[in-house]
Amino acid sequence: MSSGTPMPSDGTTVLGAPEIARALTRIAHEILERNKGGDDLVLLGIPTRGLPLARRLAQRLADVEPALDADTLVGELDITMYRDDLHRHPTRTIGTTTLPSDGIDDKIVVLVDDVLYSGRTIRAALDAIKDLGRPRAVQLAALVDRGHRELPIRPDYVGKNLPTSTSERVQVRLAEIDGDDAVTISQPGAQEVAW
């Protein structure tokens, strides 16, 4: 999980813009290889930073397979009402869910998120998907897998495996939201919420 707040100055950059770009290019090629092309693919970005990552992946897929239209591959999946911590934080802003015009029925849905940590965000995303349709398959792409799973969830595509302690904080910064691309790790004053 990451936040939009600036990182403390003691954060260590583990991925810069070139490494993030290479990781996304590799993931795009892995998606195409595993699925034997881009037919029937839908990339659902989990806000906040999963959505621009999904858009970047869609563009890379279209670069490799020009018949694909990057704009029609991407959707946005709001998981707010599917979270299992609503009883602790009942006041939340409901986000937007948008699906490609053909929906997700019989499609191969690739969930896209920035950091995979406990697995609870992905569990919520899977619950949200079942209310939207019945995909042929659901796969998971994460820019960073930091371990510490609390649920039996594993990514299909990973930009970087980043073993961390639970006290460390991983933040993904993306140009579309934060003005630059970087993945940093730091020791926060307080432990982040496990999602």
Q: What is the pLDDT of residues 125-183, one digit of tens each?
A: 999 999 999 999 999 999 999 999 999 999 999 999 999 999 999 999 999 999 999 99
Please check whether residue 146 is in contact with residue 121, taking contact to mean a CB–CB distance below 8 angstroms: no
Segment 7-42, tens digit of pLDDT:
344 589 999 999 999 999 999 999 999 999 999 999
Structure tokens at 127: 């619950």
18-166: CATH number: 3.40.50.2020
Q: Pick from 137, 139, 138, 141: which is nearest to 157 by CA? A: 141
Torsion, Cα 3 95 125 171, to 10 degrees, reads -10
